[in-house]
Amino acid sequence: MPELLEVKDLKTQFFTRDGVVRAVDGVSFQLAAGETLGIVGESGCGKSVTALSLMRLIPQPPGKIVEGSIMFDGQDILKMDDDDVRAIRGNNIAMIFQDPMTSLNPVLTISRQISEALELHLKMDKAEAKRRTIELLELVNIPSAKKRADDYPHQFSGGMRQRVMIAMALSCNPKLILADEPTTALDVTIQAQILDLLKNLAREFRTAFILITHDLGVVAGMTQRIHVMYGGQIVEKADTNELFANPKMPYTWGLLRSIPRLDESRKAKLLPIEGLPPDLIAPPPGCRFEPRCQYRREICGTTPPELKHIPNAKPDHEARCWGTQEGGWLVNTDWRRDVGSLEQLEAIKQEVADLPPEVKRIEASGEVPPPPSA
Amino acid sequence: MATVTTSAAQKRSIDANVLTRKQRSLWQDAWWRLRRNKAAMMGLGIIALAAFLAVFAPLIAPFDPTVQDTKVNNMDPFWVDSIYHNSRFPLGSDQLGRDILSRLIWSTRISLVVGLVPTLLVFTIGVTLGLLAGYLGGWIDNLLMRFTDIIYAFPDLLFVIIIMATLRNTWLGDIMGGLVLIFVALAVVNWVGLARLVRGQVLSLKEKEFVEAARATGVPTRRILIRHLFPNALAPVIVSLAFAIPGAMLAESVLSFIGIGIRPPTATWGVMINEGYTVFSQSPWPVLLPAICISLVMLAFTFLGDGLRDALDPRMKT
């Protein structure tokens, strides 16, 4: 099957005063037309930077895509000139941002904002664009769309604004939608509605989408495949059911353990991942997750593992872990029962406790790595 | 599974809700707030009156403001208890026998034009440079801002005086009795403040997500500047212009008073004060009357500016 999007060895770096932040460090993945993909990982692991890189929206300076290729529909986005990229943005690839409260321009009416892409890319005239705008608003279930089209964003609730963002993203019938944490800023009650809407519309229009989130629960029912990112790299790739049934990377295990489950007994404690995310200016020499991994062995701290196929798993299931790869010590480990070495766990906790307080504050505020402009 | 469909009944009630609520844009909101501000409305009234006088000056003024009649010079206004009265000149006449009332009315014209035209120039230059510097950043920003710093470092009035004094006797100073030169001089000096203001606004606005969203939609830079950034920065710009207009008017009066502004046969309030000054010991009115006019219009613009600032400030939203 011809791929719609093929990202190869993407490296995006930020050149800061403190050094080079390797925000995205060798990410490769493919996406077929109409396929849905989830990218999961905690804050600062490079998810948003990956998405922005795909549209070449990395603020430059300080950011720069230093290596790799992004083949979209047979063309390398990284080699296009600015006008060609602009013609793709909003037209072939659309983006939905995290915070609907700030991603709509407060002084323009809803209809003018949706019409903008239509006039720009599809060369519609004003009346035509307006008509299409109202259709789009009806499509995303805005009640009395005709009257509300001339409202300003402040007259819309958060959920409705995110619907407007979805309408904007769909307006030119793009081949790919990038949704960067589209429900994070919304009430839990609205999240499901928005996700449903997005899923149904993407299916209806056969649009491929990449859903970026820190919440494994969000991607569960939404996407066909999931890539887990950590420290600027993809650490596990699998299709969605496989990932939940048979995860093969201690980081993924950690993520799964920290989700509350309705079917567990009340006494079962949530196990957080101890430690802090890696400093992407000077990442750990071996596996990036090694400093926080209870299952670690000597090799993990010295040699970085590669993203490889995993035994005891589906053929397209890959993970970046010495333990679960061919001949590793975690091949047959049941992550639900075996939480790893408790001594290691204590050691990790101790390491964090020993850090000088200002380091912890910096890391907790998300300054290292720098917030990727989102 | 959550569904997003609404029943017919719900839809009807939602429609009804929408119908009963009035649609108001941000500008309509601001106008509504401005209208409740008495001082601002008074200011607006005075400005409207001045504008009316300026536009219809030839019809309203009883005399030509430059016609002299030395037989009836130095007449007092009608309320002054003296023997120097002439029923043709209700506000008296100056030392050359010109009707002060007519001169005041014609001066309104010059004053408003001097207030508006340089402000328009300031608006164009300041907004353009501010937008470009703020949004493009980098060396363009650096270049433009260092340039503004240089102009900013000059004392305003001194700079204007230098321009006026040096260019007054060239062809530029001759157009429309020196009026065009005043426009240019005031614009050259005053655009820096606005450029800085707009740049500051843009610097904070361009980090907002809606700008990124616009870029992600493929909107070209020029359109982002004009359609997305500029309207968002407009409120403080309007306030700043409301204060710039009286500033320019005052500057014209000052320049005319010290004799390097508008050339004398033309009536402006500054020229009138300048000329009345010489006969101040005999009668204060040729000085006081234009001074009162200047103060009144300045006050009106200041009230309006204050009102606009309150009305356009999003934090005061009610």
DSSP assignment of A52-71 equals: HHHTT---TTTEEEEEEEEE
- Position A39 scores a pLDDT of 92
pLDDT for position A2: 67
Prediction ipTM score: 0.78
Amino acid B1: pLDDT: 43
Q: What is the DSSP string of A114-131?
A: HHHHHHHHS---HHHHHH
Chain B contact for A95 (CB, 8 A cutoff): yes
Please report the sign of the dihedral spanned by the C-alpha atoms of residue A165, residue A169, residue A170, residue A176: negative
Q: At what angle do helices B38-55 and B100-136 cross, to 10 degrees?
A: 120
* Residue A196 near residue A218 (C-beta atoms within 8 A): no
Q: Mutating which of B217, B226, B228 best tests the A interface, going by the most A Cβ atoms within 10 A?
A: B217
Q: What are phi and psi of A129, to 5 degrees?
A: -60, -40
Tokens of B174: 């001759």
Contact A151, A110 (CB under 8 A): yes
Q: Do B213 and A104 touch (CB under 8 A)?
A: yes
**Residues A193-197, mean pLDDT to the nearest whole number:** 85
Give the pLDDT band of residue A228 (cuts 50, 70, 90).
very high
Instruction: Return d(Cα B295, Cα B84) in angstroms, integer.
Output: 27
Residue whose pair of structure tokens reads 């608003």 in the numeric block = A137
Q: Which of A79-83, A226-230, B72-76, B186-190 ranks highest by mean pLDDT?
A: A226-230
With a threshold of 0.80, does the pTM exceed it? Answer: no
Q: Assess contact for B232 and B127: CB atoms under 8 A.
A: no
Residue pair A210/A4 in contact by the 8 Å Cβ criterion = no
CB atoms within 10 A of CB A89: 26
Cβ atoms within 10 Å, residue A87: 14
H helix or E strand, kind and range, residue B197: helix B179-205
- Spans of chain B, pLDDT less than 50: 1-3, 16, 18-20, 317-318
Of the candidates A132, A96, A186, the one whose C-alpha atom is nearest the C-alpha of residue B2 is: A186
| Cβ within 8 Å of residue A348, ≥6 positions away | A274, A275, A291, A292, A294
Q: In what order do the strands lie in the sheet with A75-76?
A: A19-32, A3-16, A63-72, A75-76
Question: Is residue B249 within 8 Å of B298, Cβ to Cβ?
Answer: yes
Residue A56 has pLDDT above 60, yes or no: yes
pLDDT of residue B9: 54
Minimum distance, in Å, between the CA of residue B214 and any CA atom of chain A: 9
What pLDDT, in 10s, does the model give residues A360-374?
A: 555 544 444 444 443
| End-to-end C-alpha distance for chain B, whole angstroms | 39
B-chain residues near A99 (CB < 8 A): 209
Q: Is the separation of the CB atoms in A291 and A278 below 8 Å? A: yes
- Give, for A148, the enclosing helix (H) or strand (E): helix A145-148
Nearest by CB to residue B25, choosing from A97, A116, A152, is A152
| Residue A239 zone, left/alpha/beta (φ > 0; ψ -120 to 50; rest) | beta
Q: Tell me how close the Cα of A105 comes to any Cα of chain B, in angstroms.
A: 5
Number of residues that make up chain B: 318
Distance of CA B291 to the CA centre of its chain: 18
Helices (H) and strands (E) in chain A, counts: 13, 12
Q: What is the mean pLDDT of residues A291-298?
A: 84
Q: Which residue has the higher pLDDT, A274 or A241?
A: A241
Q: How far apart are CA A175 and CA A5, in angstroms?
A: 10
Digit-coded pLDDT (tens) for B73-126? 766 776 777 777 667 777 777 777 777 788 888 888 888 888 888 899 999 999
Quote the CA–CA distance of B114 and B176 in Å, as a whole number: 12
What's the CA gap between B121 and B187, in Å, rounded?
6
Say if residue B264 is exposed, middle or buried (CB neighbours under 10 Å; 0-12, 13-18, 19+): middle
What are the φ and ψ backbone dihedral angles of A10, each rounded to 5 degrees?
-75, 130
Residue-wise pLDDT tens digits, A318-336: 888 888 887 778 777 777 7
| Distance, CA of B136 to CA of B266 (rounded, Å) | 45
To test the contact with chain A by mutation, choose from B3, B4, B204, B206 the residue with the greatest count of A C-beta atoms within 10 A, namely B4
C-alpha distances (whole Å) from B122 to each of A102, A178, A223, B176 are 31, 43, 55, 20
Average pLDDT of A76-82? 87
Quick: pLDDT tens for B24-57.
Answer: 666 777 888 888 888 889 989 998 998 888 888 7
Which residues does B contribute to its contact with A (CB < 8 Å)?
A: 1-6, 11, 14-15, 18-19, 23, 25-26, 208-210, 212-220, 223, 227-228, 231-232, 234
What are A143's two structure tokens? 């009640």
